[in-house]
Amino acid sequence: MLVWRIAQATSVVVALAVLATLVLSPALGLFITWSCLVPLVPVSLLLAPGVWRNLCPIAVLSQLPVVFGFGGSTTPAFANRQVAPLIAAVLLFIIVPLRLVVLNDNGPALAAFVLTVVGIGVVGTLKFRNKSAWCSSICPVLPVERLYGQAPLITVPHRHCSQCTACVRACYDLQPRTSIEILSDGAASPKPTALGLLSTPTGVFVAAFPGFVGAYFLVPAQSSVLAIYAYVAAGAAVSTALWSALGLGLGRATLTRLSAGCAAGLYYWFSVPSIAAQAHKFLGLPLCPPNLQLGIQAAFLSFSLGWMLQRSRRLAD
Ligand code: SF4
């Protein structure tokens, strides 16, 4: 436990340093955030989501009221399996495009945004039990953690709650596999169809997410705010339509794995060129030859898809 506490403290110190850099040297802070730290998150969620869950600095800070004995004692009404996934997915679909609007280019705005989220988490934890106000209910990253973290290579013990108070049902930190309710709630019903799963918030999220990710990267530069949201909404709609068509022939577990692999693969496919360009600009690394860059893109795409489809084959359709 001490090792995790030290790692959590280190995570917070690094995060505070990055926030300071975003304000004092915005270009460098943005490079560290978007080209160094954030690209580590999807692969860590595929391989060892518990490590990220334990070390996320926002989670660590928002649990300080619990650590110091000031945590709340009730569970919010929204922290149930119908409402919380819906709120979390809506927040994700609103916040991610904000990167193109302001957060990709404005260091102080990004720092203010992160501090606001931390503030919401801390205030929520003062009122509500353990992680029920944010991290285990409506955090917009939670749907992605559930989607990508279905079949971890490495599982680690949960290191936030010294004693579980059952603050939420289907806690991801306790049951990564079954916390994605479209793969567990329907188990009791005879042959739940993939199409039927679109009636659940998580089912819609799983269907829409790969297209949302792809469309985010295809938004033309200098688009208006309206156009940005129209692009990602169109991507999500196309993805949902494709998922529905595939759902006629594939099972829900296969579709969910496919969604995770496609979304993570698309993220790396589109991110690699920009990371390479930023590394050249800030670190002076040589420009990546086009063929090598294409190879790296293909490797990440293949890994993401292959990982989800092979590693998690044990999930039953
Ligand atoms: S381990 Fe228990 S107390 Fe902690 S977030 Fe999960 S359900 Fe809540």
Q: Kindly state if the Cβ of 244 falls inside 6 Å of ligand 1.
A: no
pLDDT (tens digit, 0 to 9) for every residue of the chain, 317 residues total?
A: 789 999 999 999 999 999 999 999 999 999 999 999 999 999 999 999 999 999 999 999 999 999 999 999 999 999 887 899 999 999 999 999 999 999 999 999 999 999 999 999 999 999 999 999 999 999 999 999 999 988 888 888 888 888 888 888 878 888 776 666 656 554 444 445 666 677 788 889 999 999 999 999 999 999 999 999 999 999 999 999 998 887 767 777 788 888 999 999 999 999 999 999 999 999 888 888 999 999 999 999 999 888 887 765 655 54
Q: Kindly state if the Cβ of 158 falls inside 6 Å of ligand 1.
A: yes
* The predicted structure's pLDDT at residue 179: 64
Which amino acid residue places its CA nearest to atom 7 of ligand 1? 166
* The predicted structure's pLDDT at residue 35: 96
Q: Kindly state if the Cβ of 53 falls inside 6 Å of ligand 1.
A: no
Which amino acid residue places its CA nearest to atom 3 of ligand 1? 164
- Ligand 1 site-directed mutation target among 74, 132, 136, most atoms within 8 Å of CB: 136
* The predicted structure's pLDDT at residue 188: 42
Sketch the domain layout of the chain as residue ranges: 2-314
107 within 8 A of 29, measured Cβ to Cβ: yes
- CA 59 to ligand 1 centroid distance, Å: 12
* The predicted structure's pLDDT at residue 203: 87
- CA 169 to ligand 1 centroid distance, Å: 8
| Residue 245 tokens, joined | 């068509």
Which amino acid residue places its CA nearest to atom 5 of ligand 1? 131
Atom of ligand 1 nearest to the CA of 166: 7
* The predicted structure's pLDDT at residue 2: 86
* The predicted structure's pLDDT at residue 162: 82
* The predicted structure's pLDDT at residue 191: 47
Which amino acid residue places its CA nearest to atom 6 of ligand 1? 171
Interhelix angle for 107-127 vs 2-24, to 10°? 140
